[in-house]
A and B are shown apart, each in its own frame.
Chain A
Amino acid sequence: MAPSSPPAIAAVGRALPPHRVEQETLIEAFRALWARQHFNLERLEDLHRAVRVGGRNLALPLDQYPALDTFQKRNDAWIRAARDLGAEAMKRALEAARLPLDSVDHLFFVTVTGIATPSTDALLVNALGLREDLKRTPIFGLGCVGGASGIARAADYLRAFPDQVAVLLSVELCSLTLQREDLSIPNIIASGLFGDGAAAVVLEGGDRRPARARFPRVRATRAVFYRDTERIMGWDVVDTGFKVVLSARVPVLVRERIRGDVDAFLAAQGLDRSRIKHWVAHTGGPKVLRAFEEALELPERALERSHRSLEETGNLSSASVLFVLGELMDEEGEPPREGDLGVLLAMGPGFCSELVLLEW
């Protein structure tokens, strides 16, 4: 019997919440809050402008946030919004893959911005009428790396079940984690950088053939863990919810490690960076993207989609890299061609990286 092909990525569905707010409007809304503790407000405004985000699509209308003054209120709002936005992303992805909702065998759900039990994937079984024998894997805590890791784990699963369909759904509603009382610099930067969004990726096992003409297969994946870097990024879970941990070491670590890790990953596949036509990088922020570009010696505009995504929506944590992948797959001007290779990569709390080699 011929071995199965690697799992295929059939489609990516993206959904942004409807409440678009421009960055300058958000800065104006934050000023009164910052003024409670800080003297030089212009400096803080500059921080919000330096992250190169033009605006965010918020889960709720801006004027509803001040009333969310407890963790429970924010998380309750998160549960409702995550279910609705997740359902939208999943419907769009399956429609683009030309698959019915009941074709899904396994749903991987990734988030780091809210908690629910039953988990959001369970709520979606009811909301979308998914099958009763659907296998569900909710994954919490991977942060920004979760989109890349989610693709890798879904692909791992489909290697065992090559006739099945898996969906990776990422929902991140960063605005509903905001700690209004935390006026620290890391929290002020995070409140300028992170946005809300959901992305669903439909993956089909290697014995199946996706409907669309051109699609990538997940040829290989690699997880890389950086020991003793636990305080570089994450949450401190406090009485009021999720308090951000964010260190200036993130871009430094990218510069120190990503080149060696990518080269080793590609070498194991008999490849080197010159063979990679498409780079799908997590939109960590302008400094992180610059670090990727310099460390990997990428051609000019190689990360243009990541920069544009950051500008349009902010950093959507685990969903960001999936938005960028969706943009690439739906590209009409110069779409990827058969045989093209791509690397999808993201980093997140641990600290760690996940690398995914794609082949069209």
Chain B
Amino acid sequence: MTLVSAPAEEELRGQALAEIRRILGEQRAAASASAGVELSQALVADIHLDSMELLTLAVGLENRFRVKLNEADSAGIVTVGDLVDLVVRRALAAAAAERSAP
């Protein structure tokens, strides 16, 4: 049984991608470049993020969605889509935990 409806999940995915584009735009000071960031692009191979930029991106997403992305998570993250999936999973889990809290 899913606790969140599909449209809500889709909305979260859209918000996560928008936030990634916003953070990358701030970092690169070139909003036009970040606006074109797509789910299929690899964070390092295609967008050429360095370790400081990746860290800033992770922290920005944590702040916006009130989730924690730990070191172990990073192993499976290659593309923007992978990162969006992770953020959505964590945000949904956090929302579910909040609802089940006494």
Contacts and interface: CB of A to CB of B under 8 A. Distances in A.
A246 interface: yes
Nearest to B50: A248
Interface of A: 37-40, 42-44, 47, 184-186, 189, 246-249, 252
A47 B71 CA distance: 12
Nearest to A186: B52
B50 A185 contact: no
Contacts of A38: 59, 62-63
Contacts of B55: 47, 185
Nearest to B53: A248
Contacts of A40: 59, 62, 68-69
24 contacts: A38-B62, A38-B63, A39-B62, A39-B66, A39-B67, A39-B68, A40-B59, A40-B68, A40-B69, A43-B59, A43-B68, A43-B70, A44-B59, A47-B55, A185-B52, A185-B55, A185-B56, A185-B59, A189-B52, A246-B52, A247-B50, A247-B52, A248-B53, A249-B50
Contacts of B52: 185-186, 189, 246-248
Considering the complex of A and B, which 5 residue pairs feature the smallest CB-CB distances, nearest first? A248-B52, A248-B50, A248-B51, A40-B62, A185-B56
Interface in B47-102: 50-53, 55-56, 58-59, 62-63, 66-70
Nearest to B57: A185
Nearest to B68: A40
Contacts of B63: 37-39
A184 B57 CA distance: 11
A249 to B, nearest CB: 6
Interface of B: 50-53, 55-56, 58-59, 62-63, 66-70
A23 B58 CA distance: 24
Contacts of A189: 52
Contacts of A43: 58-59, 62, 68, 70
B62 A184 contact: no
A252 B63 CA distance: 29
Contacts of B59: 38, 40, 43-44, 185
Contacts of B51: 248
A91 to B, nearest CB: 40
Given A43-B68, A185-B56, A185-B59, 9 more contacts: A37-B63, A39-B62, A39-B67, A39-B68, A40-B68, A189-B52, A246-B52, A248-B53, A252-B50
A43 B62 CA distance: 10
A184 B50 contact: no
Contacts of A184: 56
A356 to B, nearest CB: 29
A42 B70 CA distance: 10
A264 B58 CA distance: 40
A109 to B, nearest CB: 32
A15 to B, nearest CB: 32
B23 to A, nearest CB: 11
Instruction: Find the residue from A44, A185, A246 having the highest chain B CB count within 10 A.
Output: A185
A38 B63 CA distance: 6
A162 B58 CA distance: 56
A44 B63 CA distance: 12
Of the listed residues A38, A39, A252, the one surrounded by the most CB atoms of chain B closer than 10 A to its CB is A39
